[in-house]
Amino acid sequence: MGIFSSLAAKGNNVLATRAEEDVFEALAKTNKFPKARYEREARAIVLEQKRLTASKMVLPIVTAGTADLPVAAEAKVTAEIMGQRTELICDVGVAGLHRLLGHTAKLQKANVIIVVAGMEGALASVVGGLVSCPVIAVPTSVGYGASFEGLSALLTMLNSCAAGVAVVNIDNGFSAAVTATLINKKIEMEQ
């Protein structure tokens, strides 16, 4: 919280991920940063103090199941605090392909896509096969038994038969968002 305060005091936009709600409440009680808000699903404290230029392109964040939402939400708030416009495409796991295929056009327009999936993590390969932009894949620890806390999804994504898929740590929505944002910013910077 010390780090948060010192960054915030300089007028920056600040993001604290993996923060429990009671940390936010303690911060709120100080009344120092009335614009700070708590994003419950993402478990993040967000403080927007500077207005950001919104990105031109929308960054799609695709999830396999509803249980993957907290990780997707972390990716979303991270990308947004860095200026990205995002769209969450939920619950389009590979066992119901039609739901995913309905979003094909939208996905094919993106500069870069974040795919969030636990259990068998097959969604990254399928999305990777549908588009020609890079895919940043986030395995999640959703699952049980032989998912081994996200190992299954991690290995799946690393072995993706679709080229152009790169992977971040299990449940690391933050790092996926930073990587995707860096890519998108480089692209839009050139325009």
Q: Compute the distance between CA of residue 153 and CA of residue 168 in angstroms, rounded to an integer.
A: 11
Residue closer to a second copy, measured from CB, 11 or 145: 145
Cα end-to-end span (Å), the chain: 38
Shortest Å distance, C-beta 53 to a second copy:
16
From 159, 171, 187, select the one nearest 57 (Cα to Cα): 187
Burial 142-177 (b: 16+ CB within 10 A, else e): bbeeebebbebbbebbeebeeeebebbebbbbbbbb
Minimum Å distance from CB 59 to a second copy?
Answer: 13
Q: Which residues of this protein are in contact with a second copy, per CB under 8 A?
A: 3, 64-66, 93-97, 101, 111-112, 119-122, 125-126, 128-130, 132-134, 136, 139, 141, 143-172, 174-176, 178-179, 182-183, 186-188, 190-191
CB of 68 to a second copy, least distance (A): 11
Q: How far is the CB of 140 from a second copy (least distance, A)?
A: 9
